[in-house]
Amino acid sequence: MSRAPIKVSGLVASGRIAAREGEDQRKPLVGARTVSAPSVVELPNRAEPLQTGETAPAAGKNDHPDSRKDARKISVAEIIDSPYQPRLKYDPEEIDRLAETMDTAAHADPIKVRMVNGKYELISGHRRIRAARSLGWAEIDAYVEELTDGEAQAKTLLLAVGSVGLTDYEYALMFATALREGLCKTQREVASYFGQSTVKVSGCLDMLKLPAKIVRMLDSKPDLFGYQTGAVIKKLCADYPDNLLDIERGVQRLMEGAAQNSLKSWVLQAIKG
C-alpha cells in the first residue's frame, strides 16, 4: 500500500510544527519520535576552481571521516540553527518531500552539531531537522563535534554547498562572508574552496553590488533571479544610470511573476518610450 504524502501545511494547521519560510533561525526544534540513521558525507575541498559549467563530484559513502558508530541520538528539542548557515528561506514543499522520504525509510542521515551554551548548534542538516520536526521525531542521530566559532563558520559554509534549492543570491552571501571573514582572500580562492566556477563566484558577488532597492527585493525573495539575470541588470544600470527607476520597476515585475528573460526588453521599452 502506498503511503500518503505528508504535507507541512496540514501539520502547521494542527499546531504540531511551524516550518515555514522566514521562521526564526535560532528557535529550538521540537518533536516526539526517535530515529536511526546511516552516515552522511562531507563535501571535499578542491585544489582548483571549477571551469564554467563544471559541477563538484559527488562524494561516496566512504568519503566521510566519521564512522556510523560515532553518531549518537540527541534531542530534537535541544537543536538550534547555525547563525552561519547562508539559507534565507526554506521551501515548505521541499521539506514535505524530504519528510516523506525520511518517514518511508524511518531514518535520516546523521546531522552535524556542536555544543553551544547547553544547546546543539547545527553545522549541517538544517532541512533534515525541519523534516524531522514535521514528523514529530523526538530524537535524531548526530555527530557532535568540538569546534570553535571560526571552525564552525567555515564548516557550516562549506557543507552548505550543493544544498537543495540554495539560490545564487544565497551563494553570493556565502562567498562574501568567506571573503569578509578571511576564509579566502580572492575570488579564485573562493571558487576553489567551495568547488564552484570562477564565473559563478564573480557573477554571484556582483548581485550584492546592484542598487540597494533591488538587493532588498532579493533579501525578501532570494530566488527572484540568478546571477545571469543579475548581470543583465548590472549592464542596464551601467548603460542607463539616469533610468534607475525604470530598471527597479522591471525587477519589481519579476516579484509579480514576470519571466526573467522579459526583463531587458521591458526596461528598454520603458526607457525609450
What digits encode the pLDDT tens for the residues 97-155?
Answer: 999 998 888 777 899 999 999 999 999 999 999 999 999 999 999 999 999 999 999 99
CA separation (Å) from 103 to 165, 184, 237?
21, 39, 49
State the pLDDT at residue 69: 65
Report the largest interatomic distance among the alpha carbons of the chain, rounded to a whole angstrom. 68
Residue with cell 557573477: 203
pLDDT beneath 50, residues of the chain: 1-65
Record the pTM: 0.71
Note whether 35 and 141 are within 8 A (CB): yes
Phi, psi of 113 (to 5 degrees): -140, 170
Residue 141: C-alpha distances to residues 33, 60, 71, 90, 111 (Å): 12, 20, 6, 22, 7
Residue type at position 120: Y
Q: In whole angstroms, how far apart are CA 268 and each of 188, 231, 241?
A: 34, 15, 13
pLDDT digits (tens, 9 = 90+) for 257-267: 999 999 999 99
Neighbours of 59 (CB within 10 A): 14
